[in-house]
Structure 1
Amino acid sequence: MLIRRHTHTHTHTPPHTHTHTHTQSSLRTTTATAVKMRLYLAVAVLLLALVAHSEAQDTTMEDHLAKAGDRLSEFGRTIAEKTKTALEKFHQSEFAVATTNFFRKGWQKLKEQVDELTQ
């Protein structure tokens, strides 16, 4: 007959490894503050680089914005022209003409049938 011995292992967390909510909270706050400060610093450096670059150029920020506005206007005109051309080609296409004729004939037949019923 075999006798089994029951062994039970206890796992205890040493007291120095317990985390305290207060410590975690202040660590999160410190980390969040550091991240925000890095973000502000990055934005400031980016702005300084933009100012230095624009000062190095003979053109001002107003000139840059005006050119951007002109390019945007030109883009809008180009898109409008291309859209107009594409719609004109579509309206003149064989498919569009055939579809229009099909619906016109169908509408005409429907009107004729309604006229016959009302007489």
Structure 2
Amino acid sequence: MQTIDKTSGSKLMRRWGVREWEDPGAEYFLWNGACVFAFVQQDGFYDVHMAIDPGRLRDCRKAGGDMLKHVCHQRLRAIILTDRPRVCNYARRMGFGERKIETLTTINGSESSFFIMWREPGEYHGRSD
């Protein structure tokens, strides 16, 4: 994974499916030119967001596994668009727990509902069921 700048990261998030993405002060990482991860440091955890090139969806587990190798020692909160329930299945396989719906204030000040899933620190050893 390589670090990329905020402008490139934001453009990729929008291009690959998070159409209304506005940079929340994230650090961006690009995986194999096909998946972008955005990490936003919070108080005691990181918010993690991801978008993947639709033509490379088959690689999402590899991308997620590589990402977790770098941040497995951190507590993570996945924030998932409510129109993407299948992403919750993917997150569960990556070790994220029960999904809940919460209303969060977005970077532009509006309130929206999101699926929220947490992952506690720990090594990733492949798919979790």
Scaled by the length of structure 1, what TM-score is found?
0.18
Which structure is higher in helix share? 1
Q: Tell which structure's C-alpha radius of gyration is larger.
A: 1
Structure scoring higher RCO (CA < 8 A, sep ≥ 6) equals 2
Scaled by the length of structure 2, what TM-score is found?
0.17
Which structure is higher in strand share? 2
